[in-house]
Amino acid sequence: MELKTLSEFKSSKQLRQILHRLLQYIAEQDSLSVSEICKKSSFSKTLKDRGNIRKYLRTLLDLKLINIDQEKTNIMSENISETKYYKLSAYGTYYLIEKNDKLPYGLLKNLLKYQGDHLLFKVLLYPYITQDSLLKINDSVIFSKILIYLHECCDRIQETIHIINHTYNQRNGYLTNQLFVWQNVHDLSNDTKVLRDFLKQKFKRDWIDKAEIKKTDDENGITVSHGLESLLISLNKERTSAIVSYRGKKYYEFIVRAAFGQYTVEVPIAALEEFYVRIFQMSIQARIQELIFSLISSYGVASAAIRILSQDPRFKQALKDTKNQFDKRYNLLKPRKRI
């Protein structure tokens, strides 16, 4: 799941109404020139002015919400003049879905047609309904439900990325867990036992079970020794890590974090993004099941949309998975027979 890539499409800027209308109009087409935009009768007089249109287009270009369609521009310039054509960008596609839970169904259908390879669709929609099936459907209710689903996915993507970026117990892309407190390692303390158990599991050395664990005189190191064998755990100067050395070689590195006048020693337990992506996928899976169920609940079997979906192998598999999950939950509610 390219969660971070999807999140990079987010734009915090809310467009003025006239820019939003222009962006939607561009999204309804494959690409447009300034003169073609001027012909749009429903636009205000302000937007019909070529100078204003060029100014608004520059704004949308600066925000990366549109691109110049270089291929069409080159083709048309050979035959007519140097006319630039503009098309919706990947950022613009994400913007329209993220900022709106209501759009004309024809606009969303055109997004699927002209921006069909967008990561948002490839990751969150096409695994369950093919692009081909969606383009065959002419039903506003279907597309309304799909837009709400995609809009909610955008919200959850941003929530997940926010959590990743603001998780306290992380370092270098990994979630961490406290193992012991540096100051609490002495004699028969519980922290000493936890450290011993970790070293035994990590290094597979039988002598660690009998080893003496104590601080160095300067309190910046911990020695683990038995007979001729020994490990040294040393704090670095910045007190941000502790290196485990065995026979002069680095074998492991703990993460150290200062808190309330103490040093907590932590170990990485999972890749941070991978951990939250799994949570995101689980939450989306439940939402997908809601979407699939809502699509078939809106119509009878004779409807054109249902006939199209019934021929889609991905939708049928998603429907089967949804039914299986429903059956599992239903069975949990059934009273158990007494033996």
Listing DSSP states for 208-238 in one string gives GGG-EEEE-TTSSEEEEEETTEEEEEEE-TT
Tally Cβ neighbours within 10 Å of residue 303: 15
Q: Are 308 and 137 in contact (CB under 8 A)?
A: yes
* Residue-level pLDDT at 338: 67
* Residue-level pLDDT at 301: 66
Predicted confidence (pLDDT) per residue in 186-238, tens digit: 877 899 999 999 999 998 989 999 999 999 999 999 999 999 999 999 999 99
Q: What is the mean pLDDT of the segment spanning 303-321?
A: 93
Give residue limits of the domains in the chain. Answer: 3-165, 170-270
Predicted confidence (pLDDT) per residue in 116-128, tens digit: 999 899 989 999 9
Measured at the CA of 45, the angle between CA 42 and CA 47, to 5 degrees, comes to 80
Tally Cβ neighbours within 10 Å of residue 80: 9
**Tokens at residue 261, please?**
């006048």
* Residue-level pLDDT at 292: 93
| Angstrom distance (rounded) from CA 99 to CA 79 | 39
Q: Are 146 and 291 in contact (CB under 8 A)?
A: yes
| Angstrom distance (rounded) from CA 187 to CA 174 | 31
Predicted confidence (pLDDT) per residue in 41-89, tens digit: 566 555 556 778 889 999 999 999 999 988 777 766 655 556 889 999 9
DSSP run (H or E) holding 267: strand 262-271
Query: What integer best gives the mean pLDDT of the chain?
Result: 86
**Tokens at residue 79, please?**
């035959």
**Tokens at residue 135, please?**
């383009």
* Residue-level pLDDT at 61: 94
**Which amino acid belongs to residue 136?**
K
